[in-house]
Every structure is written in C-alpha cells, then in structure tokens.
Amino acid sequence: MALRVDDVAEVILPIDTAAYAAGDLMSLATEVERVCVENHPSYIVSLTVLDYDDQGGDIDLLVFRTHPGVLGVVNAPIAITNAQAQEILCCVLVRAADYIDLGAQRLAQPEFYARKVRPADGQTSLWVAAVCRTGQVTYPSGRLLLKVGTVKEE
C-alpha cells in the first residue's frame, strides 16, 4: 500500500442567510472533488472551516460516499431517510470551542482521528452537508469555506 499526501480540497458550502435553529439543515450536500483515487480509500486527516460571519456556532458536517439526494429543506430540521443515513461515512463535529477568533471571521480546525473514507465505486468525490447544532445563528455572507486534507491510498 502506497500513501501520498494530496493537496487540500476546498469547497464553499452555500448556506441560507436567515437565522438557524438547532437541528436545521444548513447546506445541501456539496461535492468535494478528487479527494480519493478511483476505487481506493483515502484518509481525512484535517478539516478546516472558515466562518466568514464570525458566528462560531456548533456544526455537524456529514460526509457521504455518494450524493445523498434531498436531505430536507435548508433552514428547517434535517429530514434524512434510512437509505441516506447508510451512505454517511463519518460525522465531523465542529464545536464553538474549536474556533479561533480572527476579528471579523472565525476559523475552526476540530481535532479528530484520521477517518478512512471510500466513495462509491468508480468515484473520486465525497459529499458534505452541514447541520446547525447551535440555535439563533445567522450567516449574512451565505457561505462557509471548508478545507479537507486527505492522504490517498493507492
């Protein structure tokens, strides 16, 4: 087995600008491209969230092996089926304590162990959706920046 460090994949999670309640779906599943080699697993070794709106709220990031389809309506409670739940590879918990204050923004790098992930056969992408765990937070910019660092297995 050969391991190699890949560039960090970046993706913008588009989110609603209205206030969220705890348990609300923040973003639909968004593709994180080329994080795996086709038909081989990778390890998520780092994850960074840039909160452009300085909210620093608790967020669950659900990582799926395939596009899960509709997970509900943004800014309403997540509505996930059993079949969709079976496609979750991992959940990364981003907590308020993980953020550092940059003045007008916040940056989080939650500590976690490396997670082995493998997309669906023939695919190289994973899919990420965000769920709000802190009520009454607002994101006027309508986006979060997610950076996913992986080590690819070939």
Q: Where residue 59 sits, what CATH number does that domain have?
A: 2.60.120
Q: How many domains does the chain have?
A: 1
Burial 78-92 (b: 16+ CB within 10 A, else e): bebeeebeebebeeb
* Segments forming the whole domain that contains residue 69: 3-153
Which pLDDT tens digits describe the chain residue by residue (154 residues)? Answer: 555 556 789 999 999 999 999 999 999 999 999 888 888 888 999 999 999 999 999 999 999 999 999 999 999 999 999 999 999 999 999 999 999 999 999 999 998 888 999 999 899 999 999 999 998 899 999 999 999 999 987 6
Q: DSSP string spanning 15-78?
A: --SSPB-TTBEEEEEEEETT-S-TTS-EEEEEEEEEETT-----EEEEEESS-----S-TTSB-
